[in-house]
Structure formats: structure tokens, C-alpha cells
């Protein structure tokens, strides 16, 4: 009787562990449930202060999580949160989001600012943030992020709360530095892109 029970438990254990392996994506989905509370279902943020993560490259998400964890990128919430995850879990979360659909935010933009932002983008940013900021491996996705989130990102870079890549800094605060109106125009341009 006892032997039979043990055999059943053992069989159950084997079934359980192999199903966990077979369904690794759902472990990742489970881990990302915590994130969805703020970043939206499947990372499609309802905004305005949290970034869209669905469809963003796993490189970018993993890098940001590591920077939050180490404190290299200052944050209100993410630093404490990121510390709760191992590198393996962060990798799983990154690959989960990278395979979701990117859904750009629907939000009002100002046509004159969008036009000005488009010119600035072409001149200074397109080289790295290709296709109007729609694609990016290490750069993240700018097109269709919430205006507020984009504004926060610029503030973080300019106040040095977040390390800015040197070549990007040259385009923003180098020889011909961008002023607040230029930044606002860029925000409207990216927000207008889908
Ligand atoms: C309580 C709300 C909240 C939760 C839960 C949350 N985030 Fe965040 N997330 C934020 C905020 C706010 C920021 C902006 C940085 C900051 O101040 O913490 C952010 C920023 C980020 C960024 C940077 C976005 C960018 O464009 O650079 C990434 C990546 C991210 N979060 C991933 C995650 C992941 C992965 C999880 C789940 C493990 C998660 N977040 C859970 C609120 C949240
Ligand atoms: C040399 C390449 C390069 C150039 C040029 C560049 N960027 Fe970036 N940009 C990056 C990289 C790499 C990141 C990711 C930085 C990180 O890891 O935090 C980034 C991140 C960003 C972010 C934050 C994204 C997010 O989701 O939080 C914004 C906003 C941004 N860039 C705007 C611009 C604008 C505007 C220009 C032009 C004036 C520009 N960049 C030029 C490489 C570049």
C-alpha cells in the first residue's frame, strides 16, 4: 500500500518536472505577471509612466534590469524589484517580452512638434534608433512609447541618473546641444510613430 503511494508520488514528481521543462515559456509568463501590474498585460503598457516592454529586445530588457540591480541606473521602484530576480530569471523575463507583440500607445501629439522632431531625429538619432525608433537591439524601442515615459528617460539621461552612451551624449549635449523645445519635439515625434 505504502509502496504503491510512493510509486504514485514518484510518477507524479516525474510528470511534474518534465512538464515544467516542456513549458519553460509559461514559467517566464508567470515571472512576468508581477511586471504586468505596472507595464501592462504582455508588456502593453496602459501608460503613461511605464514603458511598453512587449516586443522590446531581450538584450535591452536584460541590460536595464542589470543596471537597475547594480544601481548604475537610478530608479524609484525598479532597483528594489530587480534585486529579487536571479540572472536566469531576468533572462527568462527578457525572452518572454521580446516574443510579445509591440503595441504603441494611442495618444495625442502636436503636428508642428512632430515635424521638427522628425528632422532632428533624421540628423542625429536615426543611425542608432533605426526606422524612426521602431527597432533596436541595445537601444530599446522609442516609437510609440508614452510621451511621459520618453520625457522621464530624457530627464534621467540629462540629470545623469542614467548613464548615456557617449556617442548619443555627443548628439544631445555635444557641440550643438539640444534645448528643451528640441527634446519636446523629439518626444512628440517618437510618440506619433507606431
Ligand atoms: C510597481 C510598478 C512596477 C512594477 C511591478 C514593475 N515595474 Fe518596471 N518600471 C516601473 C517604473 C516606475 C519604471 C521607471 C524606473 C523607476 O523609476 O523605477 C520602470 C522601468 C522599467 C524598465 C526600463 C524601461 C525603459 O524603457 O528603459 C524595464 C526594462 C522594466 N521596468 C522592467 C520591469 C520588469 C521586467 C518587471 C517585473 C520583474 C517590472 N518592470 C515591474 C514600474 C514598475
Ligand atoms: C551611437 C548610438 C546612439 C545615438 C546616435 C543615439 N542613441 Fe539613444 N540610445 C542608444 C543606446 C545604446 C540606448 C540604450 C541606453 C541604455 O542602455 O540605457 C539609447 C537609449 C535612448 C533612449 C531611452 C530609451 C528608453 O526606452 O528608455 C532615448 C529616449 C534615446 N536613446 C533617444 C535618443 C535621441 C533623441 C537621439 C538623437 C538626438 C539618440 N538617442 C541618439 C544609442 C544611441
Query: Taking Cα atoms as reference points, which of 104, 95, 101 lies closest to residue 146?
Result: 104
pLDDT at 193: 96
Whether residue 127 has its Cβ less than 6 Å from ligand 2: yes
**Residue whose CA lies nearest to ligand 2 atom number 4:** 168
Q: What is the mean pLDDT of the chain?
A: 90
Ligand 2: centre distance to CA 105 (Å): 19
pLDDT at 54: 97
pLDDT at residue 25 is higher than 70: no
pLDDT at residue 5 is higher than 80: no
Q: Are 52 and 45 in contact (CB under 8 A)?
A: yes
Average pLDDT of the residues in 13-30: 60
Instruction: Map grid coordinates 537597475 to a residue.
Output: 68
Ligand 2 atom closest to the Cα of residue 125 is 37
Band of residue 147 on the pLDDT scale cut at 50, 70, 90: very high
Whether residue 51 has its Cβ less than 6 Å from ligand 2: yes
Query: Taking Cα atoms as reference points, which of 135, 134, 108, 105 lies closest to residue 40?
Result: 105
Q: Are 60 and 138 in contact (CB under 8 A)?
A: yes
Contact residues for 150 (Cβ-Cβ < 8 A; gap 6+): 142, 186, 187, 190, 191
Tens of pLDDT, residues 77-124: 999 999 999 999 999 999 999 999 999 999 999 999 999 999 999 999
Q: Are 53 and 43 in contact (CB under 8 A)?
A: yes
Q: Are 65 and 90 in contact (CB under 8 A)?
A: yes
Band of residue 2 on the pLDDT scale cut at 50, 70, 90: low
Tens of pLDDT, residues 26-67: 788 889 999 999 999 999 999 999 999 999 999 999 999 999
pLDDT at residue 15 is higher than 70: no
Band of residue 4 on the pLDDT scale cut at 50, 70, 90: low
Whether residue 123 has its Cβ less than 6 Å from ligand 2: no
Radius of gyration of the chain (CA): 21
Q: Please state, in angstroms and rounded to a whole number, the distance separating the CA atoms of residues 32 and 163.
A: 26
Is the bond leading into 48 cis (omega within 30 degrees of zero)? yes
Ligand closest to 184 (CA) is 2
Per residue in 153-168, is it b (16+ CB within 10 Å) or e — as a string? bbebbbeeebebeeeb
pLDDT at 26: 79
Amino acid at each position: 500500500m505504502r509502496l504503491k503511494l510512493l510509486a504514485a508520488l514518484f510518477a507524479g514528481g516525474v510528470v511534474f518536472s518534465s512538464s515544467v521543462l516542456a513549458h519553460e515559456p509559461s514559467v517566464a509568463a508567470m515571472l512576468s505577471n508581477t511586471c504586468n501590474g505596472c507595464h501592462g498585460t504582455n508588456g502593453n503598457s496602459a501608460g503613461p509612466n511605464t514603458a511598453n516592454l512587449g516586443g522590446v529586445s531581450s538584450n535591452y530588457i536584460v541590460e536595464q534590469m542589470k543596471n537597475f540591480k547594480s544601481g548604475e541606473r537610478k530608479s524609484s521602484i525598479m532597483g528594489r524589484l530587480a534585486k529579487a530576480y536571479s540572472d536566469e530569471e531576468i533572462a527568462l523575463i527578457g525572452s518572454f517580452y521580446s516574443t510579445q507583440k509591440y503595441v504603441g500607445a494611442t495618444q495625442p501629439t502636436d503636428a508642428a512638434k512632430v515635424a521638427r522632431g522628425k528632422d532632428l531625429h533624421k540628423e542625429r538619432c536615426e543611425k542608432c534608433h533605426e526606422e524612426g525608433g521602431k527597432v533596436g537591439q541595445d537601444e530599446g524601442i522609442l516609437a510609440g512609447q508614452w510621451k511621459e515615459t520618453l520625457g522621464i528617460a530624457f530627464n534621467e539621461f540629462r540629470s545623469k541618473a542614467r548613464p548615456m552612451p557617449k556617442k548619443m551624449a555627443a548628439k544631445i549635449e555635444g557641440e550643438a546641444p539640444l534645448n528643451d523645445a528640441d527634446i519636446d519635439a523629439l518626444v512628440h515625434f517618437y510618440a506619433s510613430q507606431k
